A and B are shown apart, each in its own frame.
Chain A
Amino acid sequence: MNTFTNLHRRPAFRKLRAYSFDPSLSLRMDTVDINNLTYKVEWEELVPGPVGEYVEIIDYDPTVRRFYKPVDLDSRYIMAQDGLDPSESNPQYHQQMVYAVVMTTIKNFERALGRKVLWASDYQPNGTRGGTFSFVQRLRIYPHALRDANAYYSPPKKALLFGYFASAPADETTLMPDSLVFTCLSHDIVAHEVTHAILDGMHYYYNEATNPDVLAFHEAFADIVALFQHFTFPEVLKHQIGKTRGNLASQNLLGELAQQFGSAIGGYGSLRDAIGFYDEHGRWQAKEPSGDEYREVYEPHPRGSILVAAVFEAFLSIYKSRIASLLRIASNGTGILPQGDLHPDLVDRLAHEAAKAANHVLSMCIRALDYCPPVDITFGEYLRAIITADMDLVTDDVLDYRLAFIDAFRRRGIYPSGIKTLSVESLQHKIWNIGKTAPALGPGGDSIADLWAEEDKDDCQPQHLRGKQAPSPRAERPTATESINVTDSWFTDLSEFLRGYADEIKYVNDRREIYRITKGYIEGGQEGGLHKRINSHQAGPRRFMDITGLVFGPEAKKLGVKMRPKDQGESQEASFQIQNLRLVDRIGPNGNQINQVVFSLVQRCSLKRHQKKGQKFKWKGTHDPVNPGLAAEGSTNGTACLKFRGGCTLIFDLDTRVLKYAITKPLLDMRAWLKSDGHKRRSDQRRAERQFQYQFGAGDDHNPFAQYFGQQRHQLQEPFSFLHQH
């Protein structure tokens, strides 16, 4: 071995200078210090572009059909000075800044998730036989792709496109009119867009607007990440906290700051307008939430801002309780700070606490993604995911983080459906613990019927069917108990299989390899992968359907689910999709370890609405080729068609080898299914109708750009391009 090897250690970081906000703040005396920041980006090998492990930045400008020279961040001169000097007029600096912010965001996700970030697969349609998915190693980034006040993530291209435009500022004192504004130089915009891309890699169907919350969630989540990433830079916070002097209500300052972060480049701050406003004295005031907004606002941006405001309020409560003792110490218990500048140590500590709180909130929000249903998400479900994820990891919530979240959501009228009370316990998803080795359920454990009974109170199932009383089984089917036994051992086997996956994937760091192994476990080789195992679970499909709300077996055909021939024989099986198999391997603050494998099932069916005169309409499965929408144009009661998805996220605990959670958006109408003891199979009529009304109903979309140039909401290929088009 070469004796010099030890001296050639790879550095941990590559230091790169970049704006902490955007260029306009570098022109103001009071903010110039905090705007020029040195990002510490985890070291990786780069070639000019920069092109690294996760991203390839290609600076092609189609509006002038030119490439700008790619920056070589390994060049001696650039490395010696922590990257290029901030400069709006140097495209190479733009490439550097985009790289720094994108990598910082990716690493924040990886830290919170405990695994590598993978981009959404490339789907190559292949005629009628479905298509193939293939690995996309690098997100492509075009820093100068448009001449427009727009920047977006393109799901079909797996690319970020940033625009530039001649400004027409509201405030001509900070921006020169007609000067060029580059969206790729705004930390918020870059972090926002890359978050869209990461989220797309985790939850593919969140691009599909099936209810008013879905796209709003995409927007809000991206904004939450951008916002809290700011607060994780203590330099920025120190500077601002130092300025507040004796103002104890410094949480106002953080709110004001949060809003300012977004407003530097016009438009992008709009999501944060829900946080606060300036009163007639020019003082910033936090906005009192109203319980009505969530019921009344339907457009993705304003609706998303409700979620942003809720999460931000939770953060403020957490910050407030974290610094209460510090303020008492600093003011000798009076609550009144002495005149003059704050002690720099106090400023340090306050900034540290804010950064820590921000980090916690950001991680909570990111971790929750593993506990969300794979389709049709609502804000309420996201709240449940936050609470469940946190309860798994942090057993002892001494600082009442969870309460802070619940309170902030409650104040905005965001309630999950299907729970009886709004408390930490009831918000946590039901713990199934299914498997042979499962710890016994305590008394009072919910029965399945209970779980769905609350969904719609106006049409509850009869009392006698609720609770533990099991409906009488029919002779030709396996009895409920038999089914349970079979299912339990099947789930234990499945957990065993997933343990194998966890063991194999645990120490693999190469993303392509992770993708390959994961795909192998889903599709399977000789022994059969996850897909086959689920399909072969014929012995007890009844209970599996209870749990997932999806349909398996030949009868799925009636519901309009696509059928595929089985490997052997004539029979057919219901097609479904397995998504996002992943290992969740985290260590909580108390040293407790989570060791879970998670994957999602998604199933699609085609529905047609039938209506007989004088009767309620029914959504029935169909196998005709349908175009979603109203088949006969202009008719109000003509045949309506819909592509409808159900899904379920299954979380397995590897330590106890049980299915712990099943977070589901049923395809089945669960009440009818359970009430009839598994005989009545029909799709969830209410949700189908809601989705149809949302996608094709009366709700007008008033974005003129989308009206003229978009497709209908259900088939937007570039949802984010239109969302950001102002």
Chain B
Amino acid sequence: MNSVNGTATSLAARTATTRVDVRMYCLGTGDCFVLKFYAGDAEQFTILVDCGSCVRDGEKLRPYLNDLREYVGGQIDLLIVTHEHNDHVNGFDRCHNVFEGLTIKQAWFAWTENPNDPTGQAQELLNKRQKMRVGLRKALKQVRKNIRQNPPGRGRPLDAFMSGLDTLSFVNLDEGNNLSTKKKSDQELMGMKVIKDLLRRRGVETRYLHPGHSVALPELPGVNFHVLGPPLDKKYIYKNGKEGRDVYKRHFSIGDSLMALDSLLELNHELRDADLPFNPEFVLNEFDLDDTGIRHAPADWQRYLRQAKALVDRYHHPRCAWRSIEDEWLFAAGSLAIRLNSHINNTSLALGVELGAGGPVLLLPGDAEFGSWESWHMIEQWEGLGAGGKHLVEDLLNRTVFYKVAHHLSYNGTPLAKGVQMMTSPELAVMASLDLNRIAERWKSTMPNKELLAELMRRSQGRCFVMEDAALLSPSSDALAQSMPDRYCVKTDSDKRTLYKQYSVVL
């Protein structure tokens, strides 16, 4: 490693990064990370990655962000917004005055956020995202309505469904979020909109990054930001892994188009014939079935129409209400929500931060899921650029000493063969922004993935820090702080709240 002993021989050596402090603000399941780069004792550079939380009450974020403002000294050299999920961006809206008071010198987004993407792909994805959001919102409304109208007593699978839908809506829509304004938009989440508006207003230099590019900054000589994702090929954005081999256990396909979306979008509208799966002549016109309709029908059809009417009546009969199927198809909104969620996760800006050529790597994947991880290994221009002719991504994973666990330790956040199994550095430490006490309801059952957690524990030899880990790790990672005071610390405020956990990567 680059040694800095005070007898510097060149400018590069004198200013080379010797330490990075990674601070995870513990504001409830969600990401808010500050990275501070040091050369010797001198502060070089400050990065903020995301600001969001599953905590629904915006005021509760304030103590953390006050500490953050103080820590960064009112200035953020680089703001990275990984992707448009509330657990990553809603802090920008809820505590917008904190950000109004900060100087932000530069901001990075994924290429998928570029409103002027020259290929048009970003706009296409945004349109699709927006359409899915409208469908999801309408489904949510309909499910709520059906729950209100359903008679109690008979089984109510909709209730359990609703809690899942609620979780996904909280993350993907502004439903249930405490917004700074009443105005909701299907265009984008309020947190994302507020921070983009602020950057635009201030004329902050904003870059939209493409995978396969490596960015160097003059303030950080020797440090290379390798952009891993989101993938350019949308096939990866919609892709998920196969059970067992790629990620821990099973997956579902999110590739196929979703027909239910069309009918969700049509909810509360008069139907157009075009949306029917069959020619309209096959549709039973209920006007033909009333008494006048039957009387006016040709004689040889009257019997048929009466029988058809009996069939329709049988469906609508109150005594048969328990067999009706008005709710079941709405479960498709569940698939829709999962797809929307995965799709946005896969648009995460994923970065490998290389500290000096061939040096250790900090891996910041956002919430990238399997499809994104797989695409990193396909980046053509990095073929053979790693040590020993490996693909650069594999080499970067080999050298990873800090990994921000993607998607809060869920089963699909970190693939096996193409992810965690390549992290072979003995120095590896991992941080996960998961807090089982402050989490969206249905994430409790999906996070953490126990096998993944065990594997990460093993590979990091216990240097595995989770936002709230009393129930997960034994002994808790805080106990580790005792044994490595120079590398890891936890700060608690006067209300016994854990404000942040901090790990130092030392070169």
* Minimum C-beta distance from B205 to chain A (A): 39
> Once bound together, how far apart are the Cα atoms of A703 and B329, in whole Å?
19
Contact A68–B323 (Cβ < 8 Å): no
Stretch at the interface among A44-52, A316-324, A523-531, A585-593: A44-52
Contact (A92, B328) CB under 8 Å given A64-B275, A147-B263: no
Query: Closest residue to B260 on the A side, CB-wise?
Result: A147
> Once bound together, how far apart are the Cα atoms of A68 and B281, in whole Å?
9
Contact A704–B248 (Cβ < 8 Å): no
Contact A68–B278 (Cβ < 8 Å): yes
In which size bucket is the chain A interface?
A: 35 or more
Contact B256–A159 (Cβ < 8 Å): no
Q: Does A157 contact B (CB under 8 A)?
A: yes
Contact B328–A145 (Cβ < 8 Å): yes
Chain B residues, Cβ within 8 Å of A72: 304, 307
Contact B331–A709 (Cβ < 8 Å): yes
Chain B residues, Cβ within 8 Å of A146: 260, 328-329, 331-332
Contact (A48, B334) CB under 8 Å given A700-B411, A704-B446, A717-B157: no
Contact B315–A58 (Cβ < 8 Å): yes
Contact (A156, B161) CB under 8 Å given A48-B304, A165-B256: no
Contact A702–B282 (Cβ < 8 Å): no
Contact B248–A702 (Cβ < 8 Å): yes
Q: Mark B249-289, 1 if CB is under 8 A from A, else 0.
A: 11111011111101100100001000111110011101000
Chain B residues, Cβ within 8 Å of A158: 323
Q: Does B207 contact A (CB under 8 A)?
A: no
Chain A residues, Cβ within 8 Å of B445: 707-708
Contact (A166, B256) CB under 8 Å given A92-B282, A156-B155, A708-B338: yes
Q: Does B387 contact A (CB under 8 A)?
A: no
Picked from A125, A161, A707, the residue with its CB within 8 Å of the CB of B153 is: A125
Chain A residues, Cβ within 8 Å of B338: 704-705, 708
Interface residues of B in 158-207 (CB under 8 A from A): 160-161, 164-165, 167-168
Contact (A704, B304) CB under 8 Å given A68-B282, A90-B278, A158-B323: no
Chain B residues, Cβ within 8 Å of A63: 260, 263, 329
Q: Does B314 contact A (CB under 8 A)?
A: yes
Q: Does A70 contact B (CB under 8 A)?
A: yes
Interface residues of B in 461-493 (CB under 8 A from A): 471
Query: Closest residue to A61 on the B side, CB-wise?
Result: B277
| A interface residues (Cβ-Cβ under 8 A, vs B) | 47-49, 51, 56, 58, 60-70, 72, 89-92, 122, 125, 140, 142, 144-149, 154, 156-159, 161, 164-168, 178, 180, 299, 634, 698, 700, 702-705, 707-711, 717-718, 721, 725-726
Chain B residues, Cβ within 8 Å of A148: 259-260, 329, 331-332, 335
Contact A69–B308 (Cβ < 8 Å): yes
Contact (A707, B442) CB under 8 Å given A48-B307, A64-B271, A634-B471: yes
> Once bound together, how far apart are the Cα atoms of A717 and B322, in whole Å?
14
Contact B284–A68 (Cβ < 8 Å): yes
Contact (A145, B332) CB under 8 Å given A91-B278, A125-B153, A168-B257: no
Query: Closest residue to B276 on the A side, CB-wise?
Result: A64
> Once bound together, how far apart are the Cα atoms of A91 and B282, in whole Å?
7
Smallest CB-CB A-B distances: 4 pairs: A168-B256, A702-B249, A708-B164, A147-B260
Query: Closest residue to A165 on the B side, CB-wise?
Result: B259
Q: Does B15 contact A (CB under 8 A)?
A: no
Contact A89–B446 (Cβ < 8 Å): no
Q: How many chain B residues touch the partner (CB < 8 A)?
A: 66
Contact A704–B311 (Cβ < 8 Å): no
Query: Closest residue to A66 on the B side, CB-wise?
Result: B283
> Once bound together, how far apart are the Cα atoms of A47 and B471, in whole Å?
61
Contact B312–A67 (Cβ < 8 Å): yes
Chain B residues, Cβ within 8 Å of A700: 249, 411, 449-451
Q: Does B325 contact A (CB under 8 A)?
A: yes
Contact A48–B161 (Cβ < 8 Å): no
Contact B282–A147 (Cβ < 8 Å): no
Q: Does B326 contact A (CB under 8 A)?
A: yes
15 contacts between A and B (CB under 8 A): A47-B310, A58-B315, A64-B263, A69-B283, A69-B308, A70-B307, A89-B278, A144-B277, A147-B259, A148-B332, A157-B322, A168-B257, A634-B436, A708-B334, A721-B331
Contact A168–B263 (Cβ < 8 Å): no
Contact B283–A299 (Cβ < 8 Å): no
Apart from A144-B277, A168-B253, list 6 A-B contacts with CB within 8 A: A62-B325, A62-B329, A63-B263, A146-B332, A165-B256, A708-B445
Interface residues of B in 330-356 (CB under 8 A from A): 331-332, 334-335, 337-338
Query: Closest residue to B247 on the A side, CB-wise?
Result: A702
Chain B residues, Cβ within 8 Å of A67: 283-284, 286, 308, 311-312, 315
Q: Does B412 contact A (CB under 8 A)?
A: yes
Contact (A299, B277) CB under 8 Å given A125-B153, A157-B325, A707-B445: no
Picked from B161, B250, B323, B326, the residue with its CB within 8 Å of the CB of A702 is: B250
Query: Closest residue to A301 on the B side, CB-wise?
Result: B250
Contact B271–A65 (Cβ < 8 Å): yes
Query: Closest residue to B342 on the A side, CB-wise?
Result: A704
Picked from B154, B164, B326, B332, the residue with its CB within 8 Å of the CB of A156 is: B154
Chain B residues, Cβ within 8 Å of A60: 315, 325
Contact (A164, B277) CB under 8 Å given A70-B311, A700-B450, A705-B338: yes
Query: Closest residue to A51 on the B side, CB-wise?
Result: B311
Q: Mark B136-163, 1 if CB is under 8 A from A, else 0.
A: 0000000000000000011101001100
Chain B residues, Cβ within 8 Å of A156: 154-155, 322
Chain B residues, Cβ within 8 Å of A48: 304, 307-308, 311
Contact A70–B308 (Cβ < 8 Å): yes
* Minimum C-beta distance from B235 to chain A (A): 11
Contact B326–A89 (Cβ < 8 Å): no
Query: Closest residue to A177 on the B side, CB-wise?
Result: B257
Chain B residues, Cβ within 8 Å of A726: 252-253
Chain B residues, Cβ within 8 Å of A145: 325, 328-329
> Once bound together, how far apart are the Cα atoms of A51 and B311, in whole Å?
9
* Minimum C-beta distance from B204 to chain A (A): 37
> Once bound together, how far apart are the Cα atoms of A48 and B314, in whole Å?
13
Contact A164–B259 (Cβ < 8 Å): yes
Contact (A49, B329) CB under 8 Å given A700-B449, A707-B446, A708-B338: no
Contact B282–A49 (Cβ < 8 Å): no
> Once bound together, how far apart are the Cα atoms of A705 and B335, in whole Å?
7
Picked from B250, B283, B325, the residue with its CB within 8 Å of the CB of A161 is: B325
Chain B residues, Cβ within 8 Å of A159: 323, 325
Picked from A68, A140, A149, the residue with its CB within 8 Å of the CB of B283 is: A68
* Minimum C-beta distance from B342 to chain A (A): 9
> Once bound together, how far apart are the Cα atoms of A680 and B54, in whole Å?
52
Contact (A708, B325) CB under 8 Å given A148-B260, A717-B157: no
Name which of A69, A158, A165, A718 has the most chain B CB atoms within 10 A of its CB: A69
Contact B331–A711 (Cβ < 8 Å): no
Interface residues of B in 359-402 (CB under 8 A from A): none
Contact (A69, B471) CB under 8 Å given A125-B153, A146-B329, A148-B332: no
Chain A residues, Cβ within 8 Å of B449: 700
Chain A residues, Cβ within 8 Å of B278: 68, 89-91
Chain B residues, Cβ within 8 Å of A144: 277
Chain A residues, Cβ within 8 Å of B335: 148, 705, 725
Query: Closest residue to B255 on the A side, CB-wise?
Result: A168
Query: Closest residue to A707 on the B side, CB-wise?
Result: B446
> Once bound together, how far apart are the Cα atoms of A154 and B328, in whole Å?
10
Chain A residues, Cβ within 8 Å of B323: 140, 157-159
* Minimum C-beta distance from A569 to chain B (A): 34
Contact B257–A704 (Cβ < 8 Å): no
Chain B residues, Cβ within 8 Å of A64: 263, 266, 271, 275-277
* Minimum C-beta distance from A145 to chain B (A): 5
* Minimum C-beta distance from A34 to chain B (A): 27
* Minimum C-beta distance from B46 to chain A (A): 36
Chain A residues, Cβ within 8 Å of B256: 149, 165-168
Contact A166–B259 (Cβ < 8 Å): yes
> Once bound together, how far apart are the Cα atoms of A166 and B282, in whole Å?
20
